[in-house]
Amino acid sequence: MKYDKVVTTTAWSPGPGCHGGCGVKLFVRDDKVVRVEGDENHPFSQGRACPRLLALTQYMYHPERITHPLKRVGPRGSGEFVRISWDEALDTIEARLREIKDDYGPESVLFCQGTGRDIGGPISFLAYSYGSPNWIQLGLAGHSCYTPRLGAMMATQGDYAVLDAAQFSPQRYDDPEYRVPEVIVIWAQNPAPGCPDGFFGHWIVDCMKRGSKLIVIDPRWTWFSAKAEMFLQIRPGTDGALALAMINVIISEKLYDEKFVSEWTVGLDELRERAAEYTPRRVAEITWIPEADIIAAARMYAKAKPAAIHWGVPVDKSPEGTTVAQAINHLWCLTGNLDVPGGNVIARPAYGVTTYPFSTQEMHALYGEDFVNRLNEKRIGAKEYAMVRNFRGWAQPDVAVEQMISGEPYPIKACWIQTSNVLGGQAADTRLHHEALKKMDFVVVADLFHNPTTMAVADIVLPVASLAEKESFRSWWAPLQVITPAVQVGECRSDWEINFELAKRFNPELGKRFPTLKDLFDDRLKPTGMSYDELRDAGGWMMPPENSASRPYRRHERGLLRPDGKPGFRTPSGKIEFASQSYAQWGLDPLPYFSEPPESEVRTPELLAKYPLVMVSGRRSSVFFHSEHRNIPWLRECDPDPIVEIHPSVAKANGIEDGAWVTIENDRGAIRRKAKVTPIVHPRIVSVPHGWWLPETEGREPNLFGIWDVNCNVLVPMGTQSKSGYGGGAYKTTLVRVRAAEGRGE
């Protein structure tokens, strides 16, 4: 086959969904992408590609893709939209948002994102240019995705850390300094189909081939647990207790790294005392894991050198998620596995370049400390929740949805929704969000396809470019890389282009500082000493430079982590803090502890009598990214049905046959799923994949592509957030019952 050109770029959605980083080759003929392959010269993915990337052409050229701006002409829910020009769309949006700002203040507009893509950069940029402090993942109960872990890591060790798969080195596994982890703990994730943050899931497979042994912690058997040395089949939501029991074993058996702990940490005595409350015997009862296994896993992890922990989003979704994350973080610090080859290495974006602000420091660098502090006066949840106030810049979703309905302490009048199918995706208590969104005077949705959210509430829909059509850059750990456009589809524009244009209208100063979007990119890339074009022409990606703060190893010894250049960590004490001063300052317990899920056998036994199964939502599929891709033929056929995984004993007791439709219900509602009877789930849980809507069914109200029939978040409550404000969404711990459904759920 002949091509006009081959463009190399970086996958960071839209297209595959995901948190990106893979090197991509786009083959173009007659201004169309006709083939997509992995880039074999790229260090992140080394030529490999996930099925979602390989199906990109079906996504880009889907007959139902939205390729020009739309405005709603019928009533909300009617699905009646007409094509308008970009000028009309942007003029309308500008005028409506100005009116709302004049009448109610800029805080009355929520800037709502989902996950994936480079969205955090452009959407915070737009929100702040407009003047709203309310940058939010609307619907994400407890804001339970990564931020709780990031906050805990920042408080504990002043930096983030990730499993070392040599991803910071251009030579990868061949780097002479690198060592493969002897033991990997996969804590609450199935990394193969998942899209872990800035991490290629199959790196774990690479490590396994090179000798890593696994300990897997999960309520459900995965491919990894089936291959693991030890599998701890845990009761959902009790990860904090398990981590504390492991800490207990490691400290009381003196398995910790005494040299590292005495040199670089403070608070061991307090931690010892706290962990003593969590004996393996007691924790065995809490977690369903045999006492002997808890002890054996703690020993196996602590004795391996090096060892690394790779964790997943259920940590955030545990009750009091920020304290669970803190406890797990303590494990790699106790064992001296921080920032060593094959351990948990400190992760900073290469060259310190920011696109998506992941920390308060990055927020300050982009927008100024005074400005960021001022946002807190009106930021939703900042008053009530110290960690929300003091870490990153998110508005708190559980408080926000209440406020959308109550109008207290100030009214919410509009939502800008970008990269988020709120009602088919992350929103817990879907009905509550449906009601709240319907109350809005004005809703803009920027997306690629119609979905339950556009259908239910959009007044204007903006068509967004896929990764193959956009210019952007990616800085999420390593490498730093450019995203280069290959083609144009319809009138689609990138998230950055859309937001940059509108931001300039609200803040004309920006136009003077950054006449073009490229000028903004060049400004952000300054620490590299290269412009966007230079970086692109130099091959498109760069690993962090040697001997810099963004390149491992042992940076605390070399004075690379603290602003004052002294050895140590960026914490108040300069050490790793087992008892966190920041937590204490924020009015939180400085030490980790365990808290029961909001609905559980211990906390609500009466509810358990009625609803005896724990619904664990969110198991990942290789062919879907959250609520995306149900309309892509090559992908949907690999995972065609909205299923529920049920243990054979539960199926038998409830008269449910494999493949039959079942009802899953609790006091919040009922949904239907197709039973997959399998021994991989614990007999006391059901696994219910999230993000399901049926694009092949009616989109208009009241059906909304079937969300009321199949979306499991209908059953999940809001309002279960942690005391810190981050973490605790009950997506993994909601109690339900199942029964054979009458009729078919088609």
Question: Binding residues for other proteins, per CB under 8 A?
Answer: 35-38, 40, 46-51, 54-55, 57, 192-193, 201-202, 205-206, 208-209, 221-223, 225-226, 231, 622-623, 633-638, 678-680
User: Taking the complex as a whole, how short is the minimal distance between the CB of residue 293 and other proteins, in angstroms?
Assistant: 9
- DSSP assignment of 699-711, as one string? -STTTGGGHHHH-
Nearer to other proteins, 218 or 495 (CB): 218
Rounded to whole angstroms, the Cα distance separating 185 from 163 reads: 10
Nearer to other proteins, 596 or 645 (CB): 645
Nearer to other proteins, 192 or 670 (CB): 192
Sequence-separated (6 or more) residues with CB below 8 Å from residue 85: 69
Positive or negative, the CA dihedral 386, 390, 394, 395 is positive
Nearer to other proteins, 136 or 694 (CB): 694
How far, CA to CA in Å, does 389 sit from each of 373, 380, 394, 407, 664? 9, 9, 9, 21, 37
Nearer to other proteins, 56 or 347 (CB): 56
Nearer to other proteins, 19 or 379 (CB): 19
User: Taking the complex as a whole, how short is the minimal distance between the CB of residue 300 and other proteins, in angstroms?
Assistant: 15
Nearer to other proteins, 44 or 356 (CB): 44
Sequence-separated (6 or more) residues with CB below 8 Å from residue 361: none
Positive or negative, the CA dihedral 609, 612, 618, 624 is negative
User: Taking the complex as a whole, how short is the minimal distance between the CB of residue 57 and other proteins, in angstroms?
Assistant: 7
Rounded to whole angstroms, the Cα distance separating 637 from 633 reads: 6
User: Taking the complex as a whole, how short is the minimal distance between the CB of residue 163 and other proteins, in angstroms?
Assistant: 17
State the angle between helix axes of 291-303 and 239-252 in degrees (0 to 180), rounded to the nearest 10.
60
User: Taking the complex as a whole, how short is the minimal distance between the CB of residue 452 and other proteins, in angstroms?
Assistant: 23
User: Taking the complex as a whole, how short is the minimal distance between the CB of residue 528 and other proteins, in angstroms?
Assistant: 30
The bridge status of strand 685-688 relative to strand 734-740 is unpaired
Block residue for tokens 């960021």: 372
Phi, psi of 698 (to 5 degrees): -60, 130
User: What one-character DSSP code corresponds to residue 537?
Assistant: H
Rounded to whole angstroms, the Cα distance separating 436 from 318 reads: 26
Using alpha carbons, select from 136, 130, 134, 132 the residue that is nearest to residue 510: 130
Burial pattern 39-53, b for ≥16 Cβ within 10 A else e, equals: beebbbbbeebbbbb
- H helices of 631-741, in order, are 633-636, 648-653, 707-710
Rounded to whole angstroms, the Cα distance separating 408 from 404 reads: 8
State the angle between helix axes of 239-252 and 280-287 in degrees (0 to 180), rounded to the nearest 10.
160
The bridge status of strand 460-463 relative to strand 70-72 is antiparallel
Using alpha carbons, select from 52, 57, 1, 51 the residue that is nearest to residue 32: 57
User: Taking the complex as a whole, how short is the minimal distance between the CB of residue 634 and other proteins, in angstroms?
Assistant: 5
User: Taking the complex as a whole, how short is the minimal distance between the CB of residue 180 and other proteins, in angstroms?
Assistant: 15
Nearer to other proteins, 351 or 624 (CB): 624
User: Taking the complex as a whole, how short is the minimal distance between the CB of residue 376 and other proteins, in angstroms?
Assistant: 43
User: Taking the complex as a whole, how short is the minimal distance between the CB of residue 23 and other proteins, in angstroms?
Assistant: 12
User: Taking the complex as a whole, how short is the minimal distance between the CB of residue 532 and other proteins, in angstroms?
Assistant: 29
Rounded to whole angstroms, the Cα distance separating 651 from 12 reads: 40
User: Taking the complex as a whole, how short is the minimal distance between the CB of residue 51 and other proteins, in angstroms?
Assistant: 4
User: Taking the complex as a whole, how short is the minimal distance between the CB of residue 240 and other proteins, in angstroms?
Assistant: 25
| Distance from the Cα of residue 241 to its chain's centroid | 23
Is there a contact between 519 and 504 (Cβ–Cβ < 8 Å)? no
Nearer to other proteins, 230 or 716 (CB): 230
Block residue for tokens 């080394």: 46
Please count the residues of the chain.
746
Is there a contact between 665 and 673 (Cβ–Cβ < 8 Å)? no
User: Taking the complex as a whole, how short is the minimal distance between the CB of residue 331 and other proteins, in angstroms?
Assistant: 24
Nearer to other proteins, 36 or 246 (CB): 36
Nearer to other proteins, 13 or 222 (CB): 222
Block residue for tokens 């995901």: 18
Using alpha carbons, select from 289, 275, 333 the residue that is nearest to residue 308: 333
Nearer to other proteins, 35 or 389 (CB): 35
Nearer to other proteins, 563 or 633 (CB): 633
**Please, what's the largest Cα pairwise distance for the chain?**
70
The bridge status of strand 472-475 relative to strand 480-483 is antiparallel
User: Taking the complex as a whole, how short is the minimal distance between the CB of residue 207 and other proteins, in angstroms?
Assistant: 11
User: Taking the complex as a whole, how short is the minimal distance between the CB of residue 687 and other proteins, in angstroms?
Assistant: 13
H or E segment to which residue 372 belongs: helix 369-375
Rounded to whole angstroms, the Cα distance separating 538 from 84 reads: 40
Three-state secondary structure call for residue 486:
coil
Nearer to other proteins, 209 or 739 (CB): 209
Nearer to other proteins, 375 or 623 (CB): 623
Nearer to other proteins, 37 or 701 (CB): 37
Three-state secondary structure call for residue 431:
helix
Nearer to other proteins, 478 or 635 (CB): 635
User: Taking the complex as a whole, how short is the minimal distance between the CB of residue 696 and other proteins, in angstroms?
Assistant: 13
Structure tokens at 37: 């392959």
User: Taking the complex as a whole, how short is the minimal distance between the CB of residue 59 and other proteins, in angstroms?
Assistant: 12
Rounded to whole angstroms, the Cα distance separating 560 from 608 reads: 51
| Distance from the Cα of residue 141 to its chain's centroid | 13
**Sheet holding 23-29: strands in order across?**
5-10, 23-29, 32-38
Using alpha carbons, select from 620, 496, 628 the residue that is nearest to residue 62: 628
Rounded to whole angstroms, the Cα distance separating 711 from 693 reads: 6
Nearer to other proteins, 273 or 696 (CB): 696
